[in-house]
Amino acid sequence: MAFIGTKEVWVKGNQCKTTLTTAQLVQTFLFNTQLDKATITKDIGQSHFLQTIKYPPVSKISLLAQEAIATDSTTHILGYRCKALQLKWSDGSIYDILYTDELNLTVNQFELGFKTIPGLVLSYTITGAKGIRIEYQATKLDLSPLSLSLFTINNELYQAIDEN
């Protein structure tokens, strides 16, 4: 499997920030579980874009039908015992998830599909309907306090993209 980039997740209170960094793109997704919108920033070379989208609150049912299939297997990631769970989505994609229930964060749905997972997801593999696989695994976990400024965006640096 080829390495394409890194993904970092920060959580403080009701806020979550996820940044995907590849050689061509830096994309950040920010949301607050108490709001119905999220912000996406995309940095592609010298171009910087910002988009605000509707984001379903945690209490809403996902728009995609899913079927959770629990497995008996366990493994350890970063010293935490992880349980396996598989989600099958209505679009044909499958998420193979490893999560720990040894840690409880205030926001665990850094991916929309994770809002029903009973713990912190430390590894997941997405297999698309056409068989293409993308794998993510935690390589570092830092439980240090975060500054709220980490969740602030300087809107002047970005060109706004209209919401669709």
Do residue 54 and residue 71 come from a single domain?
no
Do residue 39 and residue 73 come from a single domain?
no
pTM of this prediction?
0.75
| Domain residue limits at 73 | 66-137
Do residue 84 and residue 132 come from a single domain?
yes
How many residues would you count in the chain? 164
Reported as a pLDDT band with limits 50, 70 and 90, residue 110 is low
Do residue 116 and residue 154 come from a single domain?
no
Q: How far is CA 149 from the centre of its chain?
A: 20
| pLDDT tens digits for range 26-79 | 999 998 888 888 899 999 999 999 999 886 655 554 545 555 666 777 799 999
How much is the average pLDDT of 135-155? Answer: 89
Place of tokens 């665990």: 108
Do residue 112 and residue 84 come from a single domain?
yes
pLDDT of residue 45: 93
Do residue 124 and residue 107 come from a single domain?
yes
Least confident of 95-104, 108-117, 121-130, 137-146: 108-117
Do residue 70 and residue 133 come from a single domain?
yes
pLDDT of residue 112: 64
Do residue 55 and residue 70 come from a single domain?
no
Do residue 16 and residue 36 come from a single domain?
yes
Reported as a pLDDT band with limits 50, 70 and 90, residue 164 is low
Coarse DSSP helix, strand, coil percentages of the chain, rounded to the nearest 5 percent: 5, 50, 40
Residues 6+ apart with CB under 8 A from 138: 77, 78, 122, 123
Question: How many domains, the chain?
Answer: 2
Do residue 130 and residue 74 come from a single domain?
yes
Do residue 77 and residue 95 come from a single domain?
yes
Do residue 76 and residue 133 come from a single domain?
yes
